[in-house]
């Protein structure tokens, strides 16, 4: 598939990369139908937020569910969903207390309360560096969505992709666990 891949500061290219796969029973694979570029992406592009390895960019996206993990019961193939950019497990202390952007389980390598420059970050974010989980983002043809039983929201048919995507952008800062 094609994806917008960060290589180094100032260098983002459209590359051919492997298709994502279901890695956990709570995953879905989403065919991306709309994505946006956020000002936060510029922090990575400029090198202000460090990233050593190649990374598929993009934390604002939506699409059609293509494949569903065995534990997903709230979504099915063909559902049109928007995905908030924080990745939340739905089961940890913060997720169960409506603070899912601080999810303790989604960013296990760099999680912590201190918010240091190179460590101790909150929960994971799609396409936003290894410090925030290293998850591939949605500036791609397809994306793996972990914990897909928690965050994706089915979009009503009367909303366009653009309406849903920018609605998500406005409200993604809110907690994603109801």
pLDDT digits (tens, 9 = 90+) for 46-83: 999 899 999 999 988 999 999 999 999 999 999 999 99
What is the reported pTM? Answer: 0.90
The Cα–Cα gap between 86 and 92 comes to 14
User: Per-residue pLDDT tens for 14-42?
Assistant: 999 999 999 999 999 999 999 988 888 88
Half-sphere exposure of residue 167, counting CA atoms within 13 Å on the CB side? 14
Tokens of 51: 């990233």
């Amino acid at each position: 598939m094609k994806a917008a891949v960060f290589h180094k500061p100032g260098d983002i290219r459209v590359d051919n990369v492997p298709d994502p796969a279901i890695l956990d029973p709570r995953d879905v694979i989403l065919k991306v139908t709309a994505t946006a570029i956020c000002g936060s992406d510029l922090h990575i592009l400029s090198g202000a937020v460090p990233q050593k390895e190649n990374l598929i960019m993009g934390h604002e996206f939506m699409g059609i569910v293509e494949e569903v993990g065995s534990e997903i019961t709230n979504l099915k193939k063909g559902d049109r969903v928007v995905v908030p950019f924080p990745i939340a497990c739905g089961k940890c202390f913060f997720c169960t207390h409506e603070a899912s952007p601080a999810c303790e389980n989604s960013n296990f390598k760099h999680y912590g309360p201190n918010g240091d420059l190179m460590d101790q970050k909150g929960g994971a974010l799609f396409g936003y560096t290894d410090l925030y989980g290293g998850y591939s983002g949605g500036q791609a043809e397809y994306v793996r969505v972990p914990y897909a039983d928690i965050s994706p929201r089915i979009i009503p048919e009367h909303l366009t992709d653009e309406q849903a995507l920018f609605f998500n952008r406005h409200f993604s800062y809110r907690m994603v666990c109801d």
